[in-house]
Amino acid sequence: MAGQGTPATALLTRRKIRHSTHPYDVSPDAANYGALVAAALGVPPERVFKSLVTEVDGALAVAVVPVTGELDLKALAAALGGKRATMADRAAAERATGYVRGGISPLGQRKRLPTVVDASALAHETVYVSAGRRGLQLQLAPADLIALTDARTAPIAAA
């Protein structure tokens, strides 16, 4: 695992959480990036989740949704008790999380942000999320992801 350490993997190792890392090679600028990552990993795309940094009523928050769908901003705002959600500015997202776009992990972020994981994650034994850098995914149980991010779950993905 040399050279694959990120704040996310360090957190999992420190907490002794069962996980595995999976490298892949997909251009972050590719159209349909999430589906290509799932194909590269050889897993159903509904098990691969993207971490999106958003703003809910002016405060940053993280939405974790399957790569197969889009984020329902209204549902996210409601899940966090807010009125309005928008996508966060890229620079603000990178500054708050300590990760770059295309490699933002919901785990091990510089600032702990309120997090909502799409309820569909609970249907899977394990899910895949970014390990904190482009080209590396983490596989872990959704319950561990939710516990470590202190997330709530809600149906926030729109098909």
Collect all residues with Cβ–Cβ distance below 8 Å to 131 and sequence separation of at least 6.
4, 6, 8, 9, 21, 105, 137, 138
Amino acid sitting at position 146: I
Reported confidence tier of residue 141, pLDDT bands at 50, 70, 90: very high
The number of folded domains in the chain is: 1
- For 50, the enclosing helix (H) or strand (E) is strand 49-56
Residue 124 lies in a domain: yes
Residue 59 lies in a domain: yes
Q: Which residue has the tokens 């990993």?
A: 41
pTM for the complete prediction? 0.94
Sequence-ordered strand ranges (E) for 57-92: 59-66, 70-71, 85-87
Residue 130 lies in a domain: yes
Residue-wise pLDDT for 83-132, tens only, equals 999 999 999 999 999 999 889 999 999 999 999 999 999 999 999 999 99
Q: Hey, what are 61's tokens?
A: 């928050």
Q: Which residue has the tokens 């290509």?
A: 36
Residue 3 lies in a domain: no
Q: Which residue has the tokens 């590269």?
A: 40
Task: Kindly state the percentage of the chain with pLDDT values over 70.
Answer: 97
What is the distance in angstroms between the CA of the first residue and the CA of the last residue of the chain?
35
Q: Hey, what are 130's tokens?
A: 């970014």
| Whole-number average pLDDT of the chain | 94
SS3 for 137? strand
Residue 95 lies in a domain: yes
The CATH number of whichever domain residue 73 belongs to comes to 3.90.960.10
SS3 for 134? coil
- The whole domain housing 150 covers 21-158
Residue 32 lies in a domain: yes
Residue 28 lies in a domain: yes
Query: Contact at 8 Å (CB) between 47 and 54?
Result: no
Q: What is the rounded CA–CA span in Å between residue 148 and residue 7?
A: 13
Residue 9 lies in a domain: no
